[in-house]
Amino acid sequence: MRQRPVSALTILTPTYTEAERIEALEAYEILDTPREEEFDDLARIASEVCGTPIAVVNFVSDTRQFFKAEVGLGVRETPVDISFCKHALLAEDMMIVPDATQDSRFDNNPLVYGDPPLRFYAGVLVRSSEGLPLGTMCVLDHTPRELDAHQIRTLRLLARQVSVQLELHRSLRRTKAALGNVRRLESQYRQIVDSAVDFAIITTDLDGKITSWSPGAEQIFGWSETETLGRPAALVFTAVDREADLAVREMATARETGRGIGEGWYQRKDGSRFWASGEIMPLMGEDEVQIGYLKILRDRTVEYQAEEQRKELTHELSHRMKNVLATVQSIVTQSLRTAESLDAGRDAISSRVQALARAQDILTQTSWSGAGIRQVVDEALAAHRAGQGRIVISGPDVVLSPQQVLGLSLALHELATNAAKYGSLSMPTGKVEISWDVGPDKDFRFDWIERDGPHVNEPSRRGFGSRLIERIVGSYFDGGGQLDFPPSGVVFRLTGSLG
């Protein structure tokens, strides 16, 4: 009997072993982790853009495929031997199965012939930083179908975002592990205090008055032993903690539980503050009778600031990713809402998401610290600069914030696309003049002026692109945008501030 053909795709001979691929997957420690909103959003967008009831972010192990995010399935894993994605791992970058019943690889597959059946599949590979395939960003349907070029491009962009989230997941895990190692080392070092000048070792009597003050304490706090003997240990606490009797409460904890461990702010002789970790314990004399307290402190200001910076960075990265996903979702929703047809909506979504991706690429080069306006303009207009002198650009190369980069990139994409279709760039003689200026108080003005193109009429209806240019972009610059349609050519002016 003649076998049905395999769906057309490029099948590669792996340059890696399956053991190497599994090792790379396990290094991310992503299997069996809880659902996360960032991954769930990617699956939802894939389902909406591709128009499929099912979308999955999955990772394929040697025995199963784990669904980090899913829409329409209701399960978190399935056996790998009935998996579509195990076949996708052998593709160059993407596998499309229009009708699984016509593909011999899925003969007798219970997913294909079950109720309801899975007939259509499209998946883009998600790779490790070393290029090894780990899983897919995929969509499935119960009926045979195809994806158009715009849906395929969007699915590839979403797969790239899965890889970004995966690297962020691993980076945060490694950071936490490194901080955990530091804390364990510090716990060990506390036992070696006799000769450690970076530790403050203080003893007090039962009333909390200082009886000894180590060289490390002198170096950290600034007081000499002579200046501190007989004085209350509360001397080193901040005014707020002294008022709250923290020294007394610490001694009570040590006396009742055998040890008190904590972190907090302390005060030096010169009035400056530092963050320290330490512990207090009963000081025992002969016959195991308590004679006072032993307090050991270590200046951890650098580590504390690093931890706070890490928390701030983690929060900022999460915030930026959510903003990007919100922007993508807004583009999809508004483009479909204002499009004259489904095909037009798909074209608009694809081009706008690609413009957003180009802006993200620029920001990635600077770790999202911002980017020069010249680079933003050049990248946004690269596809439209076929003729010499048709686009004239002038202005100082100032740095824009990440949000300003994204906003201006989208505005330039809309202006350039409109100019190429209907405006000055649609005619050989047409030109565009782009200029910007920054005042002494960081006042910012940006102009787009079209000349020598076709006669311009005021549009009867304003679409999403016009609203984006006028209302949304200006807010990123704490200002506003004005889009006019004089007969000589479209004019856009953006005013605001770079402060």
| pLDDT over 50 at 317, yes or no | no
Give the tokens for residue 21. 């691929």
Q: Are 202 and 247 in contact (CB under 8 A)?
A: no
The string of pLDDT tens digits covering residues 451-488 is 998 998 888 776 656 666 766 788 888 888 888 899 99
The string of pLDDT tens digits covering residues 165-202 is 998 888 888 888 777 776 776 555 445 545 556 788 88
- The per-residue pLDDT for 326 is 47
Percent of the chain scoring above 90 in pLDDT: 43
The string of pLDDT tens digits covering residues 434-450 is 999 998 888 999 999 99
Identify residue 212 by its one-letter amino acid code: S
- The per-residue pLDDT for 187 is 57
| pLDDT over 80 at 263, yes or no | yes
The residues facing 210 across adjacent strands are: 204
By three-state DSSP, how is residue 439 classified?
coil
* 123 contacts: CB under 8 Å, gap ≥ 6: 84, 85, 88, 94, 95, 136, 137, 138, 139
- Model-level pTM? 0.40
Lowest mean pLDDT: which of 5-9, 61-65, 215-219, 359-363?
A: 5-9
Q: What is the mean pLDDT of residues 133-162?
A: 95
Task: Give how far Cα 108 sits from Cα of 241, 357, 473, Å.
Answer: 72, 41, 54
Mean pLDDT value across the chain: 83
| pLDDT over 50 at 422, yes or no | yes
CA–CA separation, 327 and 105 (whole Å):
39
Q: What is the mean pLDDT of residues 415-425?
A: 85
Instruction: State the pLDDT confidence band at 315, using cuts at 50, 70 and 90.
Output: low
Looking at the chain, the number of H-run helices and the number of E-run strands are: 15, 18
Q: Where are the beta strands (DSSP E) in 87-181?
A: 94-97, 120-127, 133-141
Q: Of 285, 296, 186, which Cα lies nearest the Cα of 233?
A: 296
| pLDDT over 60 at 81, yes or no | yes
Higher pLDDT, 303 or 195: 303
By three-state DSSP, how is residue 87 classified?
helix
By three-state DSSP, how is residue 4 classified?
coil
| pLDDT over 50 at 98, yes or no | yes
- The per-residue pLDDT for 58 is 95
Higher pLDDT, 179 or 291: 291
Higher pLDDT, 4 or 228: 228
Higher pLDDT, 343 or 71: 71
- The per-residue pLDDT for 123 is 96
- The per-residue pLDDT for 181 is 75
CA–CA separation, 293 and 148 (whole Å):
75
- The per-residue pLDDT for 463 is 62
CA–CA separation, 460 and 465 (whole Å):
14
- The per-residue pLDDT for 400 is 87
- The per-residue pLDDT for 45 is 95
Neighbours of 228 (CB within 10 A): 22
Q: Are 88 and 56 in contact (CB under 8 A)?
A: no
Q: What is the mean pLDDT of residues 293-305?
A: 86
The string of pLDDT tens digits covering residues 372-411 is 888 888 888 877 765 567 888 999 988 888 888 888 888 8
The residues facing 138 across adjacent strands are: 56, 123
Q: What is the mean pLDDT of residues 240-269?
A: 90
Task: Give how far Cα 362 sits from Cα of 106, 414, 422, 445, Å.
Answer: 42, 18, 28, 22
Lowest mean pLDDT: which of 92-106, 254-268, 277-291, 408-422?
A: 408-422
Q: What is the mean pLDDT of residues 127-135?
A: 92
Q: How many CA atoms lie within 13 A of 397 on its CB side?
A: 6
Q: Are 448 and 490 in contact (CB under 8 A)?
A: yes
Instruction: State the pLDDT confidence band at 334, using cuts at 50, 70 and 90.
Output: very low
Higher pLDDT, 189 or 126: 126
